[in-house]
Amino acid sequence: PRVQDPDASIRATDTDAVTARLSAVQKHYLQDPFIKHLVPRAHLQQPRPPLINVGTHVRCTAIDSLVDQWLELSARNGTQCQIVSLGAGSDTRFWRIATGPRKDALARYIEIDFPEVTTKKAMAIRRQKDLSSALGDPAEVQISHGGTGLLSAKYNLLGADLRQSPTNTLQNLLGALEGPLLSPRLPTLLLFECVLVYMTSEASSALIQWFVDHFRNEGDGAGPIGGIVYEMFGLQDAFGKVMLSNLKFRNVSLPGAEDYPTVESLPSRFLTRGFARAHAMTLRNIRTSCIDDVELERISKLEMLDEIEELELVLAHYAITWGLWAGADQESAWTSW
Ligand code: SAM
């Protein structure tokens, strides 16, 4: 039998993520006109159970709100910003921003994932007019890096293994002195949506550290950097162990899954790397305290959800952590984020 590439099961988690999002869109939890173009044909009709749809809604609404506030604060501070999505998979956020009310606040959007994933995404973008038309003048859109990348004025897609030394990989891709993609002078938001769990804590710390060092080298005019992490945590308890064994059963290697036993421990991801502030909230708390009543009422009518206790147990094991790194003179302008 053929020996399976151990990373194939990690890459396959993108299909899970994109089908979960499509399911939530088809059931009217979320709006996303672009997602259908990025779902493999065989997965187009695979509705997820209500519990998963509700979880997807809470997570996406919360991250959308943090990203939206970042764009709004950039505009208010008189600058454009950059967004870097690490392990972006088939995410559609760039297209939603580029066709939305805050598009002018975005200077550049960079996505990185394994080359196998980015090659397919680059092809889908070229094929689908809905996706390619958001990239601007077609003459300035180019397939790069041997087909694994795609470069355009704002949107840039790059293939890399994020576990490799960031001082080589990210430095080459983003920070190369000639024509660097990333400007350390612009407010820059890093998105780690469901990706750090697949790498060791050493590898994920090194990733965050590379951005901090790269921006710090710029001196007074640098940054700020915002970071958003979405992940499972607290897998040491009985329910967490069940979640973990379900995932391991599918042969996904999760070296980062047990690093954070409690929600209080999550901000240290950022605080130990020199971030000034960081906060974490479980999806369970976000659902009850951050999503407004009108929206909760609307969601409750979409599908029958009997398993409220199970929902709360699952949501209590997922969290969003966000943190800010900023020079002393800038921090006050970003305190509301
Ligand atoms: N962020 C997207 C979202 O939330 O919809 C995709 C999440 S999916 C669960 C995880 C993604 O991280 C996959 O696309 C996978 O290929 C990518 N990934 C995991 N480990 C990676 C690594 N070492 N280097 C690059 N990409 C990685």
Q: Which ipTM score applies to this complex?
A: 0.99
> Considering only CA atoms, which residue is closest to atom 16 of ligand 1?
11
Predicted confidence (pLDDT) per residue in 117-136, tens digit: 999 999 999 999 999 999 99
Ordered domains of the chain (ranges, CATH): 8-334 (3.40.50.150)
pLDDT at 250: 80
Asked if pLDDT for residue 247 goes beyond 90, the answer is no
Instruction: Give distance in angstroms: CA of 297 to centre of ligand 1.
Output: 32
Q: For position 179, what pLDDT does the model report?
A: 73
**Listed ranges 44-48, 135-139, 179-183, 318-322; the one with the highest mean pLDDT:** 318-322
- Is the pLDDT assigned to residue 2 strictly greater than 80? no
Alpha carbon of 103 to ligand 1 centroid (Å): 25
- Segment 262-270 shows an average pLDDT of 97
Query: Average pLDDT of the chain?
Result: 94
Q: Which residue has the CA at smallest separation from atom 8 of ligand 1?
A: 14
The pLDDT of residue 1 is 46
Query: What is the structure's pLDDT at 114?
Result: 97
307-317 tens-digit pLDDT: 899 999 999 99
The larger pLDDT score, comparing residue 46 to residue 99, is at: 99
- Residue 14 CB–ligand 1 contact under 6 Å: yes
At 3 the pLDDT is 60
Confidence of residue 24 (pLDDT cuts 50, 70, 90): very high
> Nearest residue CA, atom 20 of ligand 1?
198
Q: Quick one: three-class SS letters along the chain?
A: CCCCCCCHHHHHHHHHHHHHHHHHHHCCCCCCCCHHHHCCHHHCCCCCCHHHHHHHHHHHHHHHHHHHHHHHHHHHCCCCEEEEEECCCCCCHHHHHHCCCCHHHEEEEEEEECHHHHHHHHHHHHHCHHHHHHHCCHHHCEEEHHHCEEECCCEEEEECCCCCCHHHHHHHHHHCCCCCCCCCCCCEEEEEECCHHHCCHHHHHHHHHHHHHHHHCCHHHCCCEEEEEEEECCCCCHHHHHHHHHHHHCCCCCCCCCCCCCHHHCCHHHHCCCCCEEEEEEHHHHHHHCCCHHHHHHHHCCCCCCCHHHHHHHHCCEEEEEEEECCCCCHHHHCCC
CB of 277 shorter than 6 A to ligand 1: no
